[in-house]
Amino acid sequence: MKKVLFTLAVALLIPVTLAAQADKIKGVYYTAEKSSTVEIKLHTNGKYIGVINWLEEPNENGKPKVDDQNPDAKLQTRPLLGLKILKAFEYNSKKKQWVNGKIYDPDNGKTYACYAWFEDGNYDVLYLKGYVAGIRALGRETTWTRKE
């Protein structure tokens, strides 16, 4: 009976432990240039997203900066502040990475497949790599620093 209870207890704790690991990505990060911050949170669909929540220079010509590099003309007037730039990240416990996500670069209006990870147990520096054509080697890496 003790073995059954122990096994049951362990089985119930595994999802809690995985959720705690997955949630380590949640928080506010300075982008590489430190000109903006992005808040990463869990979306209602169970995947992680990131939203621009601060811009060093939020205005241009006296008006809020907009997504003017977007190839879709209908989206070029949406404000950068509040813009979702990370979408659909899922935690892969085997790789210890957030995978299957997308990252949008408002500087060039392009969206890339993306994954993210931490190194050496340092949860203050988030590494992200965006890539094209499903080939991780064809990509660009950036690091974001957690805001205290």
Distance set, CA 29 to CA 34, 53, 70, 83, 128 (Å): 9, 10, 23, 15, 12
Q: What is the pLDDT along the chain (148 residues), one digit of tens a residue?
A: 555 444 544 444 445 444 678 999 999 999 999 999 999 999 999 999 999 999 999 999 999 999 999 999 999 999 999 999 999 999 999 999 999 999 999 999 999 999 999 999 999 999 999 998 778 888 899 999 999 7
pLDDT for residue 35: 95
3-state secondary structure (DSSP) of residue 143: strand
Q: Is residue 14 part of a domain?
A: no
CATH of the domain at 53: 2.40.128.520
Beta strands in 13-107 (DSSP E): 27-30, 36-42, 48-55, 59-60, 63-64, 84-92, 97-105
0.75 surpassed by pTM: yes
pLDDT for residue 10: 42
Q: Is residue 68 part of a domain?
A: yes
pLDDT for residue 136: 82
Q: Is residue 61 part of a domain?
A: yes
Q: Is residue 38 part of a domain?
A: yes
Structural domains of the chain, count: 1
Q: Which domain holds residue 132?
A: 25-146
Relative to beta strand 27-30, strand 63-64 is unpaired
Q: Is residue 53 part of a domain?
A: yes
pLDDT for residue 134: 79
Q: Is residue 134 part of a domain?
A: yes
Angle at 47 between CA 129 and CA 75, to 5 degrees: 70
Q: Is residue 6 part of a domain?
A: no
Q: Distance from first CA to last CA of the chain, Å, rounded? A: 47
